């Protein structure tokens, strides 16, 4: 604690694991004692890596069920592409895309998250059964979002964001990216709490690829524990990491002539990043392919538990399916 009078009440309580490692548990969401896996369903014609693949409601619902069967704990449904340069769609179109998908997946008993910057879409999705609002703008895009989330009482992902996709890469200027992202996240968390959002329901996200160059993404990835502590000495907030299939991975794996690796070929590297992020204490990874990432978070949980001196599978987040 810093004694700062403006400091909000605090992030979610951390569940102690035998051996001393801890992971925050967010009320209303799964808490298996390991990093969670969020599977992505983009109901868009133009997303980064999977645009157009799941653009009908039936295809998107089928994809969500498939991701859950392969080990995703949460299914994140989005209707608006945020790839660099993307323009906006109307709220009506966004609702048309995601409404039946959220309803169908929630009715099937899955934990559904809605990926939206709009309060009206978040409200409809929560009404349809979504348990988490994932706002890549951290409440900046829609002035009604924070009060909506506060009233709904659902967990809220506050991502680091500097503006809409059409011009965001022009804002990728940092003197110290970790410090600036953390400072800007703290401002957004404070705004959310001031609007009535329970700090125990807040998850933070460094926003990989959003107003970030590859070197910024790598710096953020390697310093997740620092980012999670928005104030010196304060308890950490849960951190969500969305690295899956992003361009900085394709650039790392570029061919000899410099051609970036296509999205389809970057899933193995995503799994490597999942293991590293989860071992560093990430609360959740947002991924497009579930099975190998679900294995990776279990490896990381065991790694953390062993490093902390625990030896039992339970300490490593072994789950009911006996996968530990």
Least gap, CB of 324 to ligand PMM (angstroms): 27
- Residue 116: burial class (beta carbons within 10 Å; 0-12, 13-18, 19+): buried
Binding-site string for ligand PMM from residue 165 to residue 204, where x marks contact by CB under 6 A and - marks none: ----------------------------------------
Check residue 21 for interaction with ligand PMM (CB under 6 A): no
For residues 130 and 102, the answer to whether their CB atoms sit within 8 Å is: yes
Instruction: Give, for 183, the enclosing helix (H) or strand (E).
Output: helix 177-194
Least gap, CB of 157 to ligand PMM (angstroms): 5
Of residues 242-271, those binding ligand PMM (CB under 6 A): 242, 245
User: What is the C-alpha to C-alpha distance for residues 265 and 260, in angstroms, rounded to an integer?
Assistant: 10
Of residues 109-168, those binding ligand PMM (CB under 6 A): 115, 134, 136, 157, 159
User: What is the C-alpha to C-alpha distance for residues 48 and 45, in angstroms, rounded to an integer?
Assistant: 10
For residues 82 and 50, the answer to whether their CB atoms sit within 8 Å is: no
Binding-site string for ligand PMM from residue 34 to residue 73, where x marks contact by CB under 6 A and - marks none: ------x-x----xxx------------------------
**Angstrom distances, CA of residue 231 to CA of 15, 198, 214:** 20, 17, 26
Opening angle at CA 16, ends 13 and 20, nearest 5: 130
Check residue 319 for interaction with ligand PMM (CB under 6 A): no
Check residue 208 for interaction with ligand PMM (CB under 6 A): yes
Nearest alpha-carbon partner for 287 in 246, 228, 253: 246
Least gap, CB of 149 to ligand PMM (angstroms): 14
Least gap, CB of 288 to ligand PMM (angstroms): 7
Task: Count residues binding ligand PMM (CB under 6 A).
Answer: 19
User: What is the C-alpha to C-alpha distance for residues 150 and 152, in angstroms, rounded to an integer?
Assistant: 6
Check residue 293 for interaction with ligand PMM (CB under 6 A): no
Q: Which two tokens stand for residue 27?
A: 């009320």
Q: Is 302 helix (H, G, I), strand (E, B) or coil?
A: helix
Least gap, CB of 244 to ligand PMM (angstroms): 6
Write out the residues near ligand PMM by the rule CB under 6 A.
Answer: 40, 42, 47-49, 82-83, 115, 134, 136, 157, 159, 205, 207-208, 240, 242, 245, 286
């Amino acid at each position: 604690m810093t004694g700062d009078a403006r400091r909000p009440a605090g992030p979610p309580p951390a569940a102690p694991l035998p051996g001393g490692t801890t992971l925050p548990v967010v009320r209303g969401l799964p808490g298996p004692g390991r990093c969670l896996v969020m599977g992505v369903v983009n109901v868009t014609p133009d997303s980064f890596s999977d645009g157009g693949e799941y653009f009908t409601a039936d295809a998107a619902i089928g994809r969500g069920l498939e991701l859950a069967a392969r080990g995703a704990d949460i299914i994140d449904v989005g209707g608006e592409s945020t790839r660099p340069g993307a323009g906006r769609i109307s709220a009506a179109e966004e609702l048309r895309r995601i409404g039946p998908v959220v309803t169908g997946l929630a009715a099937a008993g899955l934990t559904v998250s809605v990926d939206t910057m709009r309060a009206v879409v978040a409200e409809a999705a929560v009404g349809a059964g979504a348990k988490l609002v994932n706002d890549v703008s951290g409440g900046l895009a829609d002035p009604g979002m924070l009060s909506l989330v506060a009233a709904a009482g659902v967990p809220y992902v506050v991502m680091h964001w500097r503006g809409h996709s059409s011009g965001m890469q022009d804002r990728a200027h940092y003197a110290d990216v970790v410090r600036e992202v953390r400072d800007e996240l703290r401002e957004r968390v404070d705004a959310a709490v001031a609007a009535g959002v329970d700090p125990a329901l807040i998850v933070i996200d460094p926003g990989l690829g959003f107003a970030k160059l590859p070197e910024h993404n790598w710096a953020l990835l390697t310093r997740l524990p620092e980012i999670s502590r928005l104030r010196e000495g304060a308890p950490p907030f849960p951190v969500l990491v969305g690295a899956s299939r992003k361009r900085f991975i394709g650039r790392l794996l570029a061919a000899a002539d410099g051609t970036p690796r296509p999205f389809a070929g970057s899933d193995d590297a995503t799994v490597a990043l999942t293991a590293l992020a989860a071992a560093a204490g990430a609360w959740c990874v947002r991924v497009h392919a579930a099975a190998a990432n679900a294995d990776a978070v279990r490896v990381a949980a065991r790694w953390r538990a062993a490093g902390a001196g625990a030896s039992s599978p339970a300490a490593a987040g072994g789950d009911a399916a006996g996968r530990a």
